[in-house]
Amino acid sequence: MKTENTGNGTLETWTADEVSSAFERDEIILVDVRTPQEYMLEHIPGSLLLPMAEFKPAKLPAGADKPVILFCGSSKRSGKLAGSLLENGHETARHLEDGFAGWKKAEKPYATIDLPTGKPKTENADKKN
């Protein structure tokens, strides 16, 4: 993971492999800040949806038992929101490097919809962490 000390706290940028391993071990909370439409089309199974438009830094738990990792499509939105967390009193903020695009590029499993049938399916389910 990359660590950057800002004037407001520490920003951690986690790789897809780091997030996948920690998520598999139930050591983190994964929060998707994309739109509900983006989440509906494809998402990381078990991730929570908290769209950027509804994001309130004061409502996200500080000092929770598990670190919260934010992600979006490319890491631009999640990086911005991580900075907002630091500005609002969180000592450390974390997000996924390259966002959901990086997750898919690393061939991590994700839920999607088979467009011709409308049925849910999982991509890369047979891939190892």
Looking at the DSSP bridge assignments, the partners of residue 3 are 12
By residue count, the chain amounts to 129
Full pLDDT tens readout for the chain, 129 residues: 999 999 999 999 999 999 999 999 999 999 999 999 999 999 999 999 999 999 998 888 666 689 999 999 999 999 999 999 999 989 999 999 999 999 999 999 999 998 899 899 999 877 654
Structural domains of the chain, with CATH: 2-123 (3.40.250.10)
What is the enclosing helix (H) or strand (E) of 83? helix 76-87
Cβ proximity of 67 and 28 under 8 Å: yes
Q: Where does residue 27 rank: exposed (0-12), middle (13-18), buried (19+ CB within 10 A)?
A: exposed
pTM of the model: 0.92
Question: How many Å apart are CA 53 and CA 58, to the nearest integer?
Answer: 14
